[in-house]
Amino acid sequence: MMKSYLAAAIQMTSQPELEKNLASAADLVELAVQKGASLVTLPENFPFLGEESEKVRQASAIAQQTEIFLKTMAQRYQITIVGGGFPIPTADGKVSNTALMINADGEELARYEKVHLFDVNLPDGNTYQESQTVQAGTSLPPLPVSPDLGTIGLSVCYDVRFPELYRQLAQKGAEILLIPAAFTAYTGKYHWQVLLQARAIENTAYVIAPAQTGHHYGRRYSHGHAMIIDPWGMVLSDAGEDPGVALAEINPSRLEQVRRQMPSLEHRVFI
């Protein structure tokens, strides 16, 4: 039976330097644990946020060191940890954008390769072509069920704009939706919070959304505002614009109450 527990959504300003980013992540994980978190989530691109060509060149080192880092943190602090999207080399010379969930024994609970790739020309003049370097995943996120933490649905960043993904997760029993991101400063201002709240409300689920913030390199800026949102759409915690931690209670009786009062998942007509 899922228990009440504290979850942490970490906010970082990752740079094009792997070791520096992992050191910052380690400090923020420790901070989250000191505050009592038993589920700690890290944003997309947390170990490396730099030029796409560099990301591909360094991908095997990033992948190896990041997996070791996540397992070390999980075991050291006896937590479940989620690394919200980092490059793992694929056979075709690209990388997958992979989120990884590790339990307190250092065992892999779930691995998800980002399905929706960010190929967008924004009005601020920035162009993003994630598919040039990233091989899209083809499978629904796995749904790890933890006796203590509940049933958790994984996703990554741009996925948040595709409600059908989360509806499938909710149909399969997801109680908590994880949406680690490196949302652009431009789109984040308009869409980040409202999309997170929509995913929480329509699926009557908690949303945990760790985030990147600030200036990374060149013209790359992220929106910040890592958040935890309850199944009614209430923002329980918002990390603002500086690196840090959003922390909130995940409460099964609150989840049950909202689903009882607003049983919209049971009223679906078009499935």
State pLDDT tens for residues 197-254.
999 999 999 999 999 999 999 999 999 999 999 999 999 999 999 999 999 999 999 9
What's the CATH architecture for 5-267? 4-Layer Sandwich (3.60)
Residue 4 has pLDDT above 80, yes or no: yes
User: Is 180 strand, coil or helix?
Assistant: coil
- Annotated catalytic residue, options 55, 157, 175, 241: 157
**Mean pLDDT, the chain, whole residue set:** 96
Once rounded to an integer, what is the mean pLDDT over residues 157-169?
A: 97
What letter does residue 134 receive in the DSSP assignment?
Answer: B
Residue 271 has pLDDT above 80, yes or no: no
pLDDT number for residue 216: 97
| Start-to-end C-alpha separation, the chain | 28
pLDDT number for residue 70: 98
pLDDT number for residue 101: 98
pLDDT number for residue 1: 73
pLDDT number for residue 125: 84
User: Is 145 strand, coil or helix?
Assistant: strand
179/120 Cα distance (integer angstroms): 19
Residue 30 has pLDDT above 80, yes or no: yes
181/44 Cα distance (integer angstroms): 5
241/75 Cα distance (integer angstroms): 30
128/133 Cα distance (integer angstroms): 11
Has 54 been annotated as catalytic?
no
Q: Are 221 and 15 within 8 A, CB to CB?
A: no
- Angle between helical axes of 59-77 and 18-34 (0-180°, round to 10): 20
**2 vs 39, higher pLDDT:** 39
Per mean pLDDT, which range of 146-150, 203-207, 258-262 is the poorest? 146-150
State the amino acid at position 190 in one-letter form.
Y
Has 114 been annotated as catalytic?
yes
Residue 56 has pLDDT above 90, yes or no: yes
16/159 Cα distance (integer angstroms): 24
Q: Write the DSSP assignment of 4-33 as a string of letters.
A: -EEEEEEEE---S-HHHHHHHHHHHHHHHH
Residue 119 has pLDDT above 90, yes or no: yes
pLDDT number for residue 253: 97
pLDDT number for residue 223: 98
Within the chain, what is the greatest distance between any pair of CA atoms? 51
38/57 Cα distance (integer angstroms): 34
Has 157 been annotated as catalytic?
yes
- Annotated catalytic residue, options 55, 71, 114, 175: 114
pLDDT number for residue 129: 92
Per mean pLDDT, which range of 31-45, 124-138, 225-239 is the poorest? 124-138
Q: Strands, DSSP E only, in the chain?
A: 5-12, 37-42, 80-89, 95-102, 108-113, 119-121, 127-129, 145-146, 150-153, 176-178, 206-209, 211-217, 220-223, 227-229, 235-238, 244-250
- Annotated catalytic residue, options 44, 67, 113, 175: 44
pLDDT number for residue 227: 98
31/29 Cα distance (integer angstroms): 5
Spell out the domain ranges in the chain.
5-267
54/115 Cα distance (integer angstroms): 22
Model confidence at 3, pLDDT cuts 50, 70, 90, reads: very high
Residue 264 has pLDDT above 80, yes or no: yes
Q: Which helix (H) or strand (E) holds 70?
A: helix 59-77
43/179 Cα distance (integer angstroms): 8
